[in-house]
């Protein structure tokens, strides 16, 4: 699925953009996804992973 982390499943969040006049329009916040070479099930794959999964060590990067 596009724009989602393949480890934790984090995807876009929705909310309102609020102007100075308090007008509200819909907007989206996207996760900080990085494409990394990672080892999964003994093979090297390119996956899209959020930076929180990278920082917490849930992803084993390939050398």
Segments making up each domain of the chain, as ranges: 1-63
Q: Decide if pLDDT at 26 tops 80.
A: yes
**51 within 8 A of 34, measured Cβ to Cβ:** yes
- CATH code, 1-63: 2.30.170.40
**pLDDT at position 15 over 80:** yes
pLDDT recorded at residue 48: 97
The phi and psi torsions of 55 (rounded to 5 degrees) equal -65, -40
Tell me which residue of 28, 26, 36, 30 sits closest to 11, measured CA to CA: 30
**What pLDDT does residue 1 have?**
63
Q: How far is Cα 31 from Cα 11, in angstroms, rounded to an integer? A: 6
**Contacts for 34-39: CB closer than 8 Å, 24+ residues apart:** 36/61, 37/61, 37/62, 38/62
């Amino acid at each position: 699925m596009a724009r989602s982390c393949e480890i934790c499943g984090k995807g876009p969040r929705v909310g309102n953009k609020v102007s100075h006049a308090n007008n509200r329009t819909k907007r989206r916040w996207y996760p900080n996804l990085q494409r990394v070479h990672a080892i999964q099930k003994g093979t090297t794959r390119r996956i899209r992973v959020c930076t929180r999964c990278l920082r917490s060590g849930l992803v084993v990067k390939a050398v």
